[in-house]
Amino acid sequence: MASSNDAKRKYFGWTDQSVLILCGLLNKYVMKYGRSIPFKWMDLQPEFENIVQIKLYSEKVLKHKYDEMRKDYNLWKSLKNKATGVGWNQSLGKLDFSDDWWDKRIKEDINVKRIRRKQPSVELQEAWDQLFTNAVANGIDCV
């Protein structure tokens, strides 16, 4: 039987800051090794733990969060692409739709409820774009 310390060790509560830290580490990894080299989660774990000052029970915590972020990013982008013009609040970087619109989308995909409840910050949107798209901003030919 697992002790209460083991149960506490296994749970990691992701904050906005820790998600941004993970994105930063992953983006740094991609810049160094390119997109064709898979992430070495066992190498990334100690660096992440050092920054957040929390010991993870496994590198799988990082891999699971990455997989979850990728799904959220794809869902976020699909919703944002439907928001051209009317439903996008540029100054806030948020989707701004009626309750009816949200309810319809949630009926189509229950995961939309999570996005409606907590939309990604502008910083996270930028980190996700860098992490999950093939384009990397290098300052050349940027408008």
Residue 136 has pLDDT above 50, yes or no: no
Sign of the four-CA dihedral 36, 38, 39, 40: negative
Sign of the four-CA dihedral 111, 112, 117, 122: positive
**pLDDT (tens digit per residue) in 73-108:** 999 998 888 765 567 888 888 888 889 988 998 999
Question: Which segments within 3-115 are labelled E, that is strand?
Answer: 88-89, 94-95
Each domain of the chain, given as residue ranges in start order, spans: 6-132
Q: What is the pLDDT of residue 41?
A: 96
Across the range 119-136, mean pLDDT stands at 87
b/e code 17-51 from CB counts within 10 Å (16+ = b): ebbebbbebbbebbeeeeeeeebebeebbeebeee
Who has greater pLDDT, 91 or 135? Answer: 91
Residue 42 has pLDDT above 60, yes or no: yes
